[in-house]
């Protein structure tokens, strides 16, 4: 069985990402008050990886993998989860807080544009999009882990910024590193953006 197929199993994916999930969310936690996030759309929610931060909110998690969605719904029965292709998903409502955590490096530029265009159109006027994404790295371990993570489209910081600012007004653009036992393992960027006039 390939690594891609193995990581599609919810408990395997959760074990793989478990040591890093909170660290990846740390810039969002540091720069935002999650006690009142309003309406939340979590695009690429996986098996409910970040749902715990939004319990009590009006939350919708979306993921392509129906096994992830079943697992998330079982773990968080009071929250809403939808199995859907993020490049085609069109919710009826608008959201105050749209999260894309480590989704876009799985998508090519056309697919990224489709997801960001939907996020832009579904963002409430005073809402924000919050994006955590994987950077390309010249360092051995982060580069190897990026290649193993099923995503073929990690991008340099400048390219991510171009993609994000085409759709949103930049409020924050913060590169950061996530590691384990003092070893840098993932090089990421946190982008926070607001509504952009059409």
If one counts every other C-beta atom within 10 angstroms of the C-beta of residue 4, the result is 10
Q: What is the H or E stretch that residue 191 is in?
A: strand 183-194
Measure Cα distances from 53 to 24, 110, 122 in Å. 13, 30, 21
The answer to whether residue 107 scores a pLDDT higher than 90 is yes
pLDDT, tens only, 117-147? 999 999 999 999 999 999 986 654 544 555 5
- Provide the 3-class DSSP secondary structure of residue 56: coil
pLDDT band at 10 (very low <50, low <70, confident <90, very high): very low
Domains, the chain: 3-193 (3.40.50.150)
**What pLDDT is recorded for position 105?**
93
The answer to whether residue 181 scores a pLDDT higher than 90 is no
pLDDT, tens only, 73-103? 999 999 999 999 999 999 999 999 999 999 9
d(CA 142, CA 186): 5
**What pLDDT is recorded for position 16?**
47
pLDDT band at 6 (very low <50, low <70, confident <90, very high): very low
Averaged confidence pLDDT in the chain: 86
Least confident range from 29-43, 132-146, 177-191: namely 132-146
Residue 163 contacts residue 112 (beta carbons within 8 Å): yes
């Amino acid at each position: 069985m390939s690594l891609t197929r193995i990581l599609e199993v919810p408990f395997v994916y959760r074990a793989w990402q478990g040591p890093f999930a909170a660290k990846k969310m740390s810039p969002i936690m540091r720069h935002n008050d999650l006690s009142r996030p309003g309406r939340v759309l979590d695009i690429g929610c996986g098996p409910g990886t970040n749902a715990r931060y939004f319990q009590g909110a009006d939350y919708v998690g979306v993921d392509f993998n129906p096994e992830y969605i079943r697992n998330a719904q079982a773990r968080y029965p009071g929250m809403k989860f939808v199995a859907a292709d993020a490049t085609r998903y069109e919710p009826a409502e608008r959201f105050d807080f749209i999260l894309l955590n480590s989704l876009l490096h799985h998508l090519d530029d056309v697919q990224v544009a489709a997801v960001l265009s939907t996020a832009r159109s579904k963002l409430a006027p005073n809402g924000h999009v919050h994006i955590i994404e994987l950077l390309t790295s010249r360092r051995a371990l982060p580069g190897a882990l990026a290649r193993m993570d099923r995503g073929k489209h990690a991008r340099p910081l400048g390219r991510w910024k171009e993609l994000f600012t085409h759709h949103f007004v930049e409020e924050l653009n913060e590169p950061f590193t996530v590691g384990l036992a003092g070893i840098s393992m993932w090089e990421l960027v946190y982008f926070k953006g607001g509504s952009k006039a059409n």
